């Protein structure tokens, strides 16, 4: 099996867990990778009067606009000789680097609704939006790299099928899927743990790490335009 099929989704899951957790801690509860979670934290902000409500409200439309823009822009890339998938991941690296610069320069963020925090948060949201779009378009058969609820549900279904001794036709599909999905969840969880620990030790300086994790993925991605 080509190494990119094994390593690329794991690197992306690891990075998503790191960015989501570090962003949540640094930006007053903002989810940067699975932005629908911001509906919950937005409601909590309204009830509790905590900061960051505006950033949480902006996250979903920014995410959606970036996905649309990425999809439209991707069709222009082959005309100038650039591979779509690799270019998308390279742009994600640039956005993560820009987010790191903002986080280090402006952080720590006491107010989640300050323009500095919103700017940093939306750059990170945009980076994760590109990752989501790239995954859905170019890695549709691989487990999701940013949202683990559905993946965990499928893992438990496959575990149940293995335990009950399901027919061979079912297990032939379930066992390989179980391995890939378990690896994806593990990588995401490790990213979350690393994001939490390194934010506690380094503060916003920890945001330097995500672009470094994301960079190898650019070279692992297929260079073929699609």
pLDDT in tens, the chain (226 residues): 444 556 888 999 999 999 999 999 999 888 898 877 777 777 777 776 666 788 888 988 999 999 999 999 888 888 888 888 999 999 999 999 999 999 999 989 988 889 999 999 999 999 999 999 998 888 877 888 887 888 888 899 989 988 888 888 888 888 888 888 898 899 999 999 999 999 999 999 999 999 999 999 998 886 544 4
pLDDT at res. 124: 97
The mean predicted confidence, pLDDT, of the chain is 88
pLDDT tens track for 65-87: 999 999 998 888 888 888 889 99
This prediction has a pTM of 0.88
Rounded to 5°, the CA angle 6-12-17 comes to 125
pLDDT at res. 176: 87
Asked if residues 188 and 14 have their Cβ atoms less than 8 Å apart, the reply is yes
């Amino acid at each position: 099996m080509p190494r990119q099929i094994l390593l690329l989704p794991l690197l992306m899951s690891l990075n998503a867990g790191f960015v989501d957790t570090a962003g949540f801690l640094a930006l007053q509860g903002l989810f940067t990778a699975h932005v629908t979670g911001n509906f919950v934290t937005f409601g909590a902000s309204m009830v509790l009067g905590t900061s960051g409500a505006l950033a949480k409200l902006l996250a979903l439309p920014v995410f959606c606009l970036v996905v649309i823009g990425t999809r439209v822009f991707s069709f222009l890339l082959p005309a100038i000789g650039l591979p779509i998938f690799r270019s998308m991941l390279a742009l994600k690296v640039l956005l993560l680097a820009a987010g790191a610069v903002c986080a280090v320069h402006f952080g720590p963020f006491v107010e989640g609704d300050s323009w500095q925090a919103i700017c940093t948060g939306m750059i990170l949201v945009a980076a994760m939006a590109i990752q989501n779009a790239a995954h859905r378009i170019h890695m549709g058969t691989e487990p999701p790299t940013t949202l683990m609820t559905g993946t965990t549900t499928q893992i438990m279904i496959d575990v149940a099928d293995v335990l009950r001794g399901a027919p061979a036709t079912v297990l032939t599909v379930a066992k390989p899927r179980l391995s890939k999905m378990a690896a994806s969840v593990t990588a995401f969880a490790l990213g979350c743990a690393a994001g939490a620990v390194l934010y506690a030790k380094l503060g916003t300086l920890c945001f330097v790490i995500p672009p470094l994790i994301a960079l190898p993925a650019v070279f692992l991605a297929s260079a073929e335009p699609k």
